[in-house]
Amino acid sequence: MSNRRHFLQTLAGGAAGWSLTAAGFAAAAADPLTVTHLSDELLLIQGAGANVVALSQPEGVLLVDGGDAEHSAALLKAISEATGGRRVVTAFNTHWHWPHTGSNETLRKAGVRIIAQENTRLWLTEPVNEQWEHRVYPARPKALPTDTFYKGVQKLSFGKATVEYGYLPQAHTDGDIYVYFRDANVLVAGDVVAVGHYPILDYSTGGWSLGMANATKQLLDVVDDKVRIVPGSGPLQTKADLAAEHDMLATLHEDLWQLMRKGMGVEDMIAAGATRKFDDKWGNSDLFIANAYQGLYGHVRELRGIV
């Protein structure tokens, strides 16, 4: 019970300043929005609460993520202006978090097809108790994806482009997907790829350290050395950046698990400097350790350990 109390105390402190509806995953959203051409047809829009990618084709626009609700109107206006008045007809949600699904209500009302993994839809159907934030997010029945899938890799033809998308199980959440524009060699990875901070392991909705390590390895197997990776927030990343994140996650998953087996709690791990060798690159690790601990605790049986 001592370890559990330590965990809750550390979590309360570590979650301060982090929010799914604001700047928890990066710096505060810029204003106004910025639009960058990744290719003639592919746009990156930043400043809407999360990175958004738009593919423009004669029949309309395909969107990956929709920013937060506060920026939704400005985002959709910017996309229309940048594409000569074309409207969004298809959209993807990389996971359920509000900075990525904030345009869903507007898009659904306009008849847009919204594609996501099934667990993303389920989390939007009910209140979500994000224990690490000490916050309950209400259900959003008018924001539900219209089309969902369960597993594997899928392909979608959109205009002249073929869009590949696939499931990343139990990573940042249990509903993460990637979207790969192979022709432009651009991978949209959502919050599975973190920049400038340790990734969030949202154990409240199925994320954990081994799932994140496996997800980053899965992405490494999809792309080549010239890929441009769009993270959930922050600047474009390279395959080398992705490999560094994978190495960190794989190493810390094993390190923290071994410390847990020795009876260490969250405060013990922090005091021991469990992540010290990665902190120069990834920053403060208190929340990462707290969430990793809870994720490990939830997977004790499959890890075949004794706590």
Q: What is the pLDDT of residues 12-36, one digit of tens each?
A: 444 444 566 544 444 444 468 999 9
In this predicted model, what pLDDT tens digit does every residue of 228-274 receive, in sequence order?
999 999 999 999 999 999 999 999 999 999 999 999 999 999 999 99
**Is residue 292 domain-resident?**
no
Q: Which two tokens stand for residue 186?
A: 């651009």
**Is residue 262 domain-resident?**
no
Residue 11 has pLDDT above 70, yes or no: no
Please report, for the domain that includes residue 103, its CATH number.
3.60.15.10
Q: What spatial distance separates the first Cα and last Cα of the chain, rounded to whole Å?
A: 11
Calculate the CA dihedral of residues 118, 119, 122, 123 and round it to 10 degrees.
-150
Which residue carries 């939007």 as its tokens?
Answer: 124
**Is residue 281 domain-resident?**
no
Q: Are 281 and 271 in contact (CB under 8 A)?
A: no
**CA 142 to each of CA 93, 127, 150, 205: distance values in angstroms, whole numbers, following the listed order:** 14, 14, 21, 20
Q: What is the average pLDDT value for the chain, to the nearest integer?
A: 92
- Please state the domain count of the chain: 1
**Is residue 171 domain-resident?**
yes
- In the sheet with 60-64, reading across from the earlier edge strand, the strands are 34-37, 42-46, 52-57, 60-64, 88-92, 113-117, 147-149
In this predicted model, what pLDDT tens digit does every residue of 101-134 receive, in sequence order?
999 999 999 999 999 999 999 999 999 999 999 9
**Is residue 172 domain-resident?**
yes
**Is residue 195 domain-resident?**
yes
**CA 231 to each of CA 30, 133, 261: distance values in angstroms, whole numbers, following the listed order:** 16, 22, 33
**Is residue 36 domain-resident?**
yes
**Is residue 280 domain-resident?**
no
Q: What percentage of the chain carries pLDDT values higher than 90? A: 87
User: Any residues with CB less than 8 A from the CB of 297 and at least 6 apart, and which?
Assistant: 260, 307
Q: Give the domain range for residue 84.
A: 28-246
